[in-house]
Amino acid sequence: ALEADDEALIALLSEYHASEIAILFETLSQEARERIINILPLEIASEVISEMNVEIHPEKILNNLTPDKRTEIVEEMDYDDAADIISLLSEERQDEILEELDAEDASTIRNLLTYDEDTAGGLMNSQVLKVNSGLTKKEALEEIIRLSEEIEEFYTINVVDNYNHLVGIVSLKDILKSKHSVHIRELVKDDFVFVKANTDQEEVAKLLSQYNLTSIPVVDDEMHLLGRITFDDVMDVLQEENTEDMLKISGVSEDEELSGNWKEAVKSRLPWLILNLGTAFLAASVIRHFEPTLGQIPILAGYMAMIAGMGGNAATQALAVTVRRISLNDLTDSQAYSTVLKEFMVGMINGAVNGFIVFLFALLYDANPMLGFVIFSAMTGNLIIAGVAGSSIPLVLKRIGIDPAIASSIIITTFTDVFGFLLLLGLASELLL
């Protein structure tokens, strides 16, 4: 379709929603993306850029547009989207682009750029539907209809006093249902949820999801209304945080782009692997220590690999359940205690069952019941260690304020490797030699 002339292309694309075009962009070349942005109607073009996955670099398109086109597109965008995308450019380039804009837009965006991107301030849109508490029903409705020209969606209406202090919220429904003579201040709900600009985005997502809100107002320390965060931004945050958790727990840096190139992937993963190599030397030193035992009973080597592999997997299970649980909710002391106790029990039972299977194998295949007993004990012991380490390490990290997902499988498998080898080879040295 990209060989067609512009007119045919526009006709074709007009069938699609901007977010669909943004997804289509993921399969197109940079050149094709820029050509399409240049011929789309302004409104659609700005929405497409806003909706583009950051991994395919919307800022590059913005950067390569002619100054006039860029200004038109940025001024058509929501302020929060514009700030998010402009923030991806170098500071020098940011200044140049902001210079081209109308002074008020530039200052609003400049202001949004000052907030950390992981906070409420970084998420919020400063275009917010607000009415003064002194307005009558009729005046408020007129104001809302007027504002709705600029603001795409109006979920909740914020009510402010003459000094832009947020005094409460009111729903359009309540305004519509009220009597004619009513003033907004009589309808205001003053028991409402809001966040400060420096609130962490994960906390914002939790609040919005817990209270089933479509949007949440953002204020400064003096309760001045700064902006609002809508549910669609929060859904993106949830997905982002979930991705980060899954990557971290698997020993991948949280900022690796899923569709990044091999250079980025090496940069993100190599440090973790080298850390793992360091811990692997530790496990290997345990094995070296027991070299004489291994020399006398060489079939232990195969069982070693089993004990280590099973321990690592059982630890990963306990880790995933615990990290996911505490990422959704905080645990009380007694809940944390009973979580570790539970994982101890689970490790003991799973260890005993699997240990018994391997015991039977050693008995029947190697005809060595004492060897079977050693392996049974090492398997059970190692799966208990797996459960206790897999649950207690993330719990402790959370308590001391470190992200529990950092307790990745890499850290945890060190425990099970070292203790698994110690148990198996130590017991074998004592009981089989």
Q: Find the binding residues for a second copy in span 384-423 (CB under 8 A).
A: 409-410, 413, 417, 421
Number of H-type helices and E-type strands within the chain = 21, 6
Residue choice 258, 360, 370, 402 for contact with a second copy (CB under 8 A)? 258
Q: Which among 4-12, 17-25, 89-97, 107-115 is the span making contact with a second copy, rule CB under 8 A? A: 17-25
CB neighbours of residue 17 within 10 Å: 12
Nearest approach in angstroms of CB 310 to a second copy is 6
Angstrom distance (rounded) from CA 29 to CA 229 = 33
Q: Which is nearer to a second copy, 113 or 233 (CB)?
A: 233
Angstrom distance (rounded) from CA 106 to CA 143 = 25
Nearest approach in angstroms of CB 363 to a second copy is 15
Encoding tokens for residue 335?
Answer: 């809940």
Q: Which is nearer to a second copy, 158 or 316 (CB)?
A: 316
Chain Cα centroid distance, residue 57: 19
- Verify binding: residue 66, a second copy, rule CB under 8 A: no
**DSSP H or E stretch at residue 196:** strand 195-196
The per-residue DSSP string of 316-338 comes to: HHHHHHHHHHHHHS---HHHHHH
Nearest approach in angstroms of CB 245 to a second copy is 7
Of 311-350, binders to a second copy (CB under 8 A) are 312-314, 316-317, 319-321, 323-325, 328-329, 332, 335, 342-343, 345-346, 349-350
Q: Which is nearer to a second copy, 113 or 379 (CB)?
A: 379
Residue choice 77, 252, 371, 395 for contact with a second copy (CB under 8 A)? 252
Nearest approach in angstroms of CB 278 to a second copy is 9
Encoding tokens for residue 311?
Answer: 């321990």
Q: Which is nearer to a second copy, 103 or 328 (CB)?
A: 328
Residue choice 163, 173, 181, 364 for contact with a second copy (CB under 8 A)? 173
Sheet containing strand 166-170, edge to edge, reads 130-132, 157-160, 166-170
Q: Which is nearer to a second copy, 63 or 156 (CB)?
A: 156
Compose the 198-227 pattern: x for residues touching a second copy by CB under 8 A, - for all others. -----------xxxx-x-------------
3-state SS, residue 48: helix
Nearest approach in angstroms of CB 121 to a second copy is 21
Of 102-141, binders to a second copy (CB under 8 A) are 141
- Verify binding: residue 27, a second copy, rule CB under 8 A: yes
Nearest approach in angstroms of CB 163 to a second copy is 28
3-state SS, residue 224: strand
Residue choice 277, 360, 370, 402 for contact with a second copy (CB under 8 A)? 277
Cβ–Cβ < 8 Å for 395, 322: yes
Residue choice 56, 304, 384, 388 for contact with a second copy (CB under 8 A)? 304
Cβ–Cβ < 8 Å for 129, 158: yes
Q: Which is nearer to a second copy, 298 or 401 (CB)?
A: 298
Q: Which is nearer to a second copy, 79 or 101 (CB)?
A: 79
Nearest approach in angstroms of CB 158 to a second copy is 16
- Verify binding: residue 29, a second copy, rule CB under 8 A: no
CB neighbours of residue 193 within 10 Å: 12
Nearest approach in angstroms of CB 173 to a second copy is 5
Q: How many CA atoms lie within 13 A of 135 on its CB side?
A: 20
Number of residues that bind a second copy (CB under 8 A): 104
Nearest approach in angstroms of CB 399 to a second copy is 17
The angle, 0 to 180 degrees and rounded to 10, between the axes of the packed helices 6-13 and 30-39 is 80
Q: How deeply is 430 buried, as exposed, middle or buried, from its count of CB atoms within 10 A (0-12, 13-18, 19+)?
A: exposed
* CB neighbour burial string for 61-96, b if at least 16 within 10 angstroms, e if fewer: bbbebeeeebbebbbbbbbbbbbbbbbbbeeeebee
Of 354-383, binders to a second copy (CB under 8 A) are 354, 357-358, 361
Q: Is the dihedral of CA 88, 91, 93, 99 positive or negative?
A: positive
Nearest approach in angstroms of CB 13 to a second copy is 14
Q: Which among 81-89, 120-128, 182-190, 352-360 is the span making contact with a second copy, rule CB under 8 A? A: 352-360
Kindly give the residue spans of alpha helices, DSSP state H, lying in 114-230. Answer: 120-123, 137-147, 172-177, 184-187, 201-210
Nearest approach in angstroms of CB 87 to a second copy is 21
